[in-house]
Chain A
Amino acid sequence: MQEMTEAKAEPAEALAAQSRAASLRGLFRAVGMLPVLIVLCILIQLTSLYLTGEGRFMTFQNLSIVTQQASVNAVLAAGMTFVILTGGIDLSVGSILAVAAMMGLIVSKDFGFLGIPTAMLAGLACGLFNGALVAFVRLPPFIVTLGSLTAVRGVARLLGGDTTVFNPSLPFAFIGNGSVYGVPWLVIIAFLVILVSWLILRRTVLGVHIYAVGGNETAARLSGIKVPRVLLFVYGASGLLAGVGGVMQAARLYAANGLQLGQSYELDAIAAVILGGTSFVGGIGSIWGTLIGALIIAVLTNGLVLLGVSDIWQYIAKGAVIIGAVALDRYRLRGSART
């Protein structure tokens, strides 16, 4: 025993260095897509410089627009990260966003700011409904959220009587259009959401349990983790954040349409999570990767518009970049880790 404690004392520094190296590797993995984002920005800037004679992309104004475009998707993708880390999927976030926006706008007409908590609670309720079906009825997440994708969309149309709800004197419109010291509120909210998500995932017991459920659900259950509670949380969080997204969207547009708002947003959110290096199998991934994924999608959309690429080709280019970026990531990681 004594020899061992002596032996332990010696390599303490080596161990510290090793763990530093490990966390550095972890960081590198988390920001794995950062080079893609940077290259994309430079490419768009150079092309726009070549085509128009001036770099239109990297201007303060345009970058502010890009981050605003990324913000709603980043918030949805944060919730999606929780879900995918447990090995699940939430296809209903776009529809939940529409319901939340409708509720928020309808309530805001009579009760002003109460529209915000109403929208968030509506999102939370939808998410908890998904979570209860997955956690307690043990239905597959894909089926459950595919069902609510359709059903909740119906509810969104029902809420406004299948019309567009419009509130020109929306009291919380500043959220969608105002800024603090030049930083748009949408960006502040998105960043706060990412920060809180990071805290939960990396600094709390709940976070470890989320990774554990995704990594090995049987082991998690046998070690006493209350798996249903974790699942309820992740779907609830995804719903709540879709509600936040609904508030952001409603505040930006002063209006919401149950049929159109948030259509196929779930696909952009999933794409952001996957671009960020989170594994579809569960247990592996980080919220910073998701942020970078959301930025890549926003930069791509914005850049293609700036360059005057037609709408049709934008779809094709976006899909190709998503597949290409993930393929590149897999290729890069193949040597270093077998995950």
Chain B
Amino acid sequence: MTPEPGAGETSPAPLMSLRGIRKSFGSIAALRGVDLDLYAGECLGLVGDNAAGKSTLTKILAGTYLPDAGSITLDGRPARFGGPAEARALGIEMVYQDLSLCDTIDVAGNLFLGRELCRRGFLRKRAMCDEARQVLAALDIHIPNLRARVAGLSGGQRQSIAIARAAAFDPRVLIMDEPTSALAVAEVQAVLALIRRVKAKGVAVVLITHRLQDLFLVCDRIAVMYEGTKVAERFIGQTDIEDLIRLIVGGNPAGDGQGFAPVADRDPPQRRHAPC
């Protein structure tokens, strides 16, 4: 198991900061002023009920949407993404909920999709296969045949490839939207282990999931969204599932939406859910 970089080990300056992010679709305010900090080597869990604004927030992080108001800083410098390609160029990768793989292309081709190794437009197939093998081995992902089409692989293998594709090119921020929702139990464990390995490489990971028990296995911090605002932010040792559920369904006002919510006035958690 990789050593858990606890709260004390995270670098003091956030890798990426959002301040006062607002986004509306027509008359619907999806985000009403959200602040969020991401730290290198830390996994942030993002939870909330449906339509709480999680997906909108991650799409702003990934450059798919432009915020209506608010600022984004990366390494302390203001950043503005014109699209996913620009965000990716700055090291921000996203794994989409609906498996963004091409079924009819082989494993190696999917890993390099959009950034194929080539010489004057011609593919360097051997180099791509070799590098794909290294990338997968480094993340301890086992795919026997890299020339097989991904259509024939299991859900877990496909999700692993999608994550590997995002993690392979030294991202600084990796955003994952429900990476485990469609997987079998054993496959979930494999994907969570993969997230831990990515985190250990110093990547700032953002994980959206409805499976709250998963959060306690990989996350260092959890931010709770409620109707377009961030209502609470907890270190993993300061909260438990009941607490999270209260926050998710009630938008418990104990969190002021600015920085960490006070925890002293809450019942202490029954026991610390130690990340394994």
Please give the residue numbers on chain A whose beta carbons come within 8 Å of chain B beta carbons, in ascending order: 4-5, 8, 15, 18-19, 22-23, 203-208, 211-212, 214-216, 218-220, 222-225, 283-284, 337-339
In the docked arrangement, what's the CA distance between A5 and B88, Å?
30
CB distance from B253 to the nearest CB of A (A): 37
Q: Mark the stretch among B8-16, B102-110, B179-187, B224-232 that contacts chain A.
A: B102-110
User: Are B103 and A15 neighbours in the complex by a CB distance under 8 Å?
Assistant: no
Chain A residues in 8 Å Cβ range of B133? 8
User: Are A223 and B147 neighbours in the complex by a CB distance under 8 Å?
Assistant: no
Please give the residue numbers on chain B whose beta carbons come within 8 Å of chain A beta carbons, in ascending order: 84-85, 88, 94, 96, 98-105, 109, 113-116, 118, 121-123, 133, 137, 140, 144-149, 151-152, 165
Q: Which residue of A lies closest to B115 (CB)?
A: A224
Cβ contact of B84, chosen from A23, A208, A222, A337, cutoff 8 A: A222
With A15-B144, A224-B115 given, is the CB distance from A219 to B101 under 8 Å?
yes
CB distance from B158 to the nearest CB of A (A): 11
User: Are B145 and A205 neighbours in the complex by a CB distance under 8 Å?
Assistant: no
User: Are A283 and B145 neighbours in the complex by a CB distance under 8 Å?
Assistant: no
User: Are B152 and A337 neighbours in the complex by a CB distance under 8 Å?
Assistant: yes
User: Are B102 and A204 neighbours in the complex by a CB distance under 8 Å?
Assistant: no
User: Are B114 and A224 neighbours in the complex by a CB distance under 8 Å?
Assistant: yes
User: Are A216 and B145 neighbours in the complex by a CB distance under 8 Å?
Assistant: no
User: Are B113 and A225 neighbours in the complex by a CB distance under 8 Å?
Assistant: yes
- Listed by A's residue number, 22 A-B pairs whose Cβ atoms lie within 8 Å are A15-B144, A18-B144, A19-B145, A22-B147, A22-B148, A207-B123, A208-B113, A211-B102, A211-B105, A215-B102, A216-B101, A216-B104, A219-B113, A222-B94, A222-B96, A223-B100, A223-B165, A224-B88, A225-B113, A283-B103, A284-B104, A339-B104
User: Are B145 and A22 neighbours in the complex by a CB distance under 8 Å?
Assistant: yes
User: Are A205 and B102 neighbours in the complex by a CB distance under 8 Å?
Assistant: no
User: Are A222 and B100 neighbours in the complex by a CB distance under 8 Å?
Assistant: yes
With A215-B103, A216-B102, A224-B114 given, is the CB distance from A339 to B151 under 8 Å?
yes
CB distance from A3 to the nearest CB of B (A): 11
Cβ contact of A204, chosen from B115, B121, B151, cutoff 8 A: B121
Having A4-B137, A205-B118, A223-B115, one finds 17 other A-B pairs with CB under 8 Å, namely A204-B118, A205-B116, A208-B116, A212-B105, A212-B113, A215-B102, A216-B101, A218-B98, A219-B102, A220-B113, A222-B96, A223-B100, A223-B113, A224-B85, A224-B115, A283-B105, A339-B149
User: Are A15 and B145 neighbours in the complex by a CB distance under 8 Å?
Assistant: yes
In the docked arrangement, what's the CA distance between A215 and B101, Å?
9
Cβ contact of A5, chosen from B104, B137, B144, cutoff 8 A: B137
User: Are B122 and A219 neighbours in the complex by a CB distance under 8 Å?
Assistant: no
Chain B residues in 8 Å Cβ range of A204? 118, 121-123
Chain A residues in 8 Å Cβ range of B100? 216, 218-219, 222-223
CB distance from A284 to the nearest CB of B (A): 5
CB distance from B103 to the nearest CB of A (A): 6
In the docked arrangement, what's the CA distance between A174 and B98, Å?
55
User: Are A215 and B137 neighbours in the complex by a CB distance under 8 Å?
Assistant: no
Chain A residues in 8 Å Cβ range of B121? 204-206
CB distance from A87 to the nearest CB of B (A): 11
User: Are B146 and A203 neighbours in the complex by a CB distance under 8 Å?
Assistant: no
Chain B residues in 8 Å Cβ range of A208? 105, 109, 113, 116, 123
In the docked arrangement, what's the CA distance between A19 and B132, Å?
14
Chain A residues in 8 Å Cβ range of B113? 208, 212, 219-220, 223, 225
Chain B residues in 8 Å Cβ range of A223? 100, 113-115, 165
In the docked arrangement, what's the CA distance between A220 and B115, Å?
11
User: Are B122 and A203 neighbours in the complex by a CB distance under 8 Å?
Assistant: yes
Cβ contact of A19, chosen from B102, B147, B165, cutoff 8 A: B147
Chain A residues in 8 Å Cβ range of B148? 22
User: Are B102 and A4 neighbours in the complex by a CB distance under 8 Å?
Assistant: no
User: Are B145 and A18 neighbours in the complex by a CB distance under 8 Å?
Assistant: yes
CB distance from B151 to the nearest CB of A (A): 6
Chain A residues in 8 Å Cβ range of B104? 211, 214-216, 283-284, 339
Chain A residues in 8 Å Cβ range of B165? 223
Chain A residues in 8 Å Cβ range of B116? 205, 208
In the docked arrangement, what's the CA distance between A189 and B148, Å?
33
CB distance from A84 to the nearest CB of B (A): 13
CB distance from A282 to the nearest CB of B (A): 8
In the docked arrangement, what's the CA distance between A223 and B168, Å?
13
Q: Which residue of B lies closest to A14 (CB)?
A: B144
Chain A residues in 8 Å Cβ range of B149? 339
With A204-B122, A224-B85 given, is the CB distance from A216 to B103 under 8 Å?
yes
Q: Which residue of B lies closest to A218 (CB)?
A: B100
User: Are B102 and A212 neighbours in the complex by a CB distance under 8 Å?
Assistant: yes
Chain A residues in 8 Å Cβ range of B151? 337-339
Chain B residues in 8 Å Cβ range of A207? 123
Cβ contact of B140, chosen from A4, A19, A338, cutoff 8 A: A4
Chain B residues in 8 Å Cβ range of A215? 102-105
